[in-house]
Structure 1
Amino acid sequence: MEREVVQIFRKRSIHQAKLNVPTLVAVAAIAILTTRGLDLLMLLNLLGVRGMIDFVHRSVQTWALTLIFLGSLVMLCVEVRCAFVILKGRTWGRWVYLGTQVIAVSYLWASSLGWGYPELFSIPGESKREILRSLITQKLPDLLVLFLLFVPSRSRLFFKLQ
């Protein structure tokens, strides 16, 4: 009986050893989940229930706005999925997250310069430099997450070994 219990614990420790997530990777994944959750809570607090209903109503006025709105919701879901996949050590999760950030920054930059639907997603500013500074400030947490996923050697090694 004791031998079987010892073997069970040995098997568990072997499986757990494969799932030792480096602290920086865990912090990055938790940061993705936290920032997205807080973004939603802050938006709900800012707009209120009525404001959220109005926002959704304005977002579905035309097909183009509806596609942009649905695309943003899909990107939110993809980012949350990436956080869980990153914890499992799948390297594609960090690359997909990087892709979502490139898409988000590109669209925010373009819409802020008037090449999209600025009434939905745009950053206010008088000049391109001011808009870029605001955009970088707004995306700083995501840049830090990308740094934690790609730069430290422990993070790169973790994804390489999985």
Structure 2
Amino acid sequence: MGFFKKTTHHAKLNVPAIVQVAAIAIITIRCVDVLMVLNVLGGRGIVDFVQRSAQTWALTLIFLGSLLLVFIEILCAFSVVKGRNWARWLYLLTQLVATGYLWAASLGYGYPELFSIAGGSRREIFRSLMLQKLPDMLVLFLLFIPTPSRRFFRLQ
């Protein structure tokens, strides 16, 4: 019987509550974002958006890139709970890319309109962008600043 004995060595992680909250927040924020876009566009708007996104290579790449970004962020959420330090840095990178693109698209350097923020001036657009990104900045704060978070990622 000892010949077929199955041994498993799973180290139990002591995940800080702050990291758990951050991971849950990432998933929740992305799900709510998708639901809000679906609500704003409606069924016909979604079909129009996908058809418009498939008209040119640039629009198709932006559309696929945005979907990839959402999946990467959700992957980061699951990975930070496992103590993967790269996941919090990758999440930071996704936020920099998304914020940079939103800022550029809002100033007229990108498209489609769905990925832009309306405003009368650069200051208004920037203020709206920062308010929109506030939940993500809070998540980044939870992953990088508190001592339990830094210790958790250092030990893994």
- Picking from 116, 120, 123, the partner of 1:122 is 116
For 1:113, which of 83, 94, 107 is the aligned residue?
Answer: 107
Which residue of structure 1 aligns with residue 138 of structure 2? Answer: 144
Q: Which residue of 2 aligns with 1:63?
A: 57
Is residue 2:151 matched to residue 1:157? yes
Contact 2:59–2:112 at 8 Å: present in 1 too?
Answer: no
> Would you identify which runs of 4 or more consecutive aligned residues in structure 1 move more than 3 Å?
none
Q: Which residue of 2 aligns with 1:44?
A: 38
Percent identical pairs in the alignment equals 65
Asked if structure 2 preserves the Cα contact closer than 8 Å seen for 1:59 and 1:120, the reply is no
CA distance in 2, matches of 1:42, 1:106: 21
Deviation, 1:46, is 2.3
Gaps of 5+ in 1: 1-7
Matched letter for residue 58 of structure 2: A
Q: Is the Cα–Cα contact under 8 Å of residues 82 and 97 in structure 1 kept in the other structure?
A: yes
Name the CA distance, whole Å, in 1 between partners of 2:35 and 2:109.
29
- Structure 2 gaps, min length 5: 1-6
Q: Hey, what does 1:135 align to over in structure 2?
A: 129
Deviation at 1:118?
Answer: 4.9
Counterpart Cα distance in 2 of 1:118 and 1:80: 23
Q: Paired residue for 2:83, among 80, 86, 89?
A: 89
- CA apart distance, 1:119: 2.3
Partners of 1:90 and 1:26 in 2: how far apart? 13
Residue 120 (structure 1) shift: 3.7
Offset, 1:72: 0.5
Q: CA deviation at 1:45?
A: 2.1
Counterpart of 2:3 in structure 1 is none
Deviation at 1:62, TM superposition (A): 0.9
Matched residue pairs, number? 150
RMSD: 1.7
Per the alignment, in what secondary structure is the counterpart of residue 15 of structure 1? coil
- Cα deviation per residue 1:121-152 (whole Å; 9 max; x = unaligned)? 11000110000000000000000000000000
Moved more, 116-125 or 149-158: 116-125
TM-score w.r.t. the length of structure 1 is 0.87
Q: Does 1:15 align with 2:11?
A: yes
- How far apart, CA to CA, are the structure 2 residues paired with 1:72 and 1:98? 16
Cα distance, 1:40 vs. partner? 1.2
**Rg comparison, structure with higher value:** 1
